[in-house]
Amino acid sequence: MNGNTCNLQSPASKKAQSHWAGVWRQFRKNKGAMAGLIVVLLAILTALTIGFFVDYDEHVIRQNIPMRLQPPSLEHPLGTDELGRDLMVRILYGSRYSLAVGFGSVGIAALIGIALGAFAGFYGGYKEDVVMRLTDIFAAIPGLLLGAVIVASLGASLTNLILALGLASIPQFVRITRASVLTVRDQEYVEASWVIGLTGRKIIFSHILPNCLSPIIVTATLQVAQNIISASAMSFLGLGVPAPDPEWGALLSAGRSYMRTHGYLTLFPGLSIMLIVLALNLLGDGLRDALDPKLKR
């Protein structure tokens, strides 16, 4: 579905500029996507600047037992947790982990996946076969299980979580990149590049990949959303960011023991995950519509 988008774009770079302007014009019309973009930007801003406003040791992890399990109030808008820490501060601070894992893991997956996918799609033949069969093998293991095994083996930490989810997302990028490259590869301007004697690598980077960006961007956006959910799931299982760091999944795990009496400990971290994932999904959908008018309904 995404594979055939490339030929819509002009290979010429001058036209490419007006292409992106057109995409932006199209994107701006989509209210949901704009809302998504704003929420994502706000979340990134929060994650980047929260460290200037709150002190990690003082506000995020310091226990304050007398104030434990306070329901939402003016002083603590989202209440306090089982160790008396302000839930809102912890959730805001937690955005750093969720976004780091989401973007970090997709960064790793995109880097490796795009390279492999472009290689496979461009050269074809046995090289393609080898890459695609390896991808099949990778994709055969359910993502969450692969992530769990990696973390179980290497230990639970933020880095390992990023690594685990990153590795598990590689197949997506290999497949989407290869499919796009295949549609572009045989077009005349690529053949022309061969004729004027460009090397394979140069053709891939300057003529093929720029014309395959649309489906890759869309996939990346949706994958960030997916990996933020997966990260919270792993932390919930104790396979992600370890305590006392306030990763959202870890907050859910901690709040679990108090579900009956203190439901807000379960409600708010989950809503936070949902909000950022919803924003990313809307953004991804909006990008898909804007980048590929053919698919718009």
In this complex, which beta carbon is closest to other proteins, that of residue 14 or of residue 260? 260
> 126-165 mask for other proteins (x: CB under 8 A)?
-------xx-xxx-xxxxxxx-xxx-xxxx----------
Q: At closest approach, how far in Å is the CB of 272 from other proteins?
A: 10
Is residue 232 at the binding interface for other proteins, with CB under 8 A as the rule? yes
For residue 216, which amino acid is it? I
Q: At closest approach, how far in Å is the CB of 21 from other proteins?
A: 20
Q: At closest approach, how far in Å is the CB of 153 from other proteins?
A: 4
Q: What is the DSSP letter of 260?
A: T
Question: DSSP letters of 135-148?
Answer: HHHHHHS-HHHHHH
How far, in whole angstroms, is CA 210 from its chain's centroid? 21
Is the distance from CB of 7 to CB of 183 less than 8 angstroms? yes
Is residue 71 at the binding interface for other proteins, with CB under 8 A as the rule? no
| Binding span for other proteins by CB under 8 A among 42-50, 186-194, 199-207, 266-274 | 266-274
Q: What is the DSSP letter of 83?
A: T
Is residue 237 at the binding interface for other proteins, with CB under 8 A as the rule? yes
Among 84, 238, 242, 244, binds other proteins (CB under 8 A): 238
How many Cα atoms sit within 13 Å of 8 on the Cβ side? 19
Is the distance from CB of 257 to CB of 206 less than 8 angstroms? no
| Binding span for other proteins by CB under 8 A among 47-55, 66-74, 116-124, 235-243 | 235-243
Q: At closest approach, how far in Å is the CB of 281 from other proteins?
A: 5
| Binding span for other proteins by CB under 8 A among 39-47, 204-212, 213-221, 264-272 | 264-272
191 Cβ contact partners less than 8 Å away, ≥ 6 residues apart: none
CA distance 31 to 22: 16
- Footprint of other proteins on residues 159-218 (CB under 8 A)? none
For residue 60, which amino acid is it? V
Q: How far is CA 109 from CA 59, 146, 171, 255, in A?
A: 34, 14, 8, 32
Is the distance from CB of 147 to CB of 90 less than 8 angstroms? no
In this complex, which beta carbon is closest to other proteins, that of residue 45 or of residue 137? 137
| Binding span for other proteins by CB under 8 A among 9-17, 85-93, 96-104, 256-264 | 256-264
CA angle 272, 112, 40 (to 5 degrees): 25
State the residues that interact with other proteins by CB under 8 A. 133-134, 136-138, 140-146, 148-150, 152-155, 225, 229, 232-233, 236-239, 249, 252, 256, 259-260, 263, 266-267, 269-270, 273-274, 277-278, 281-282, 297
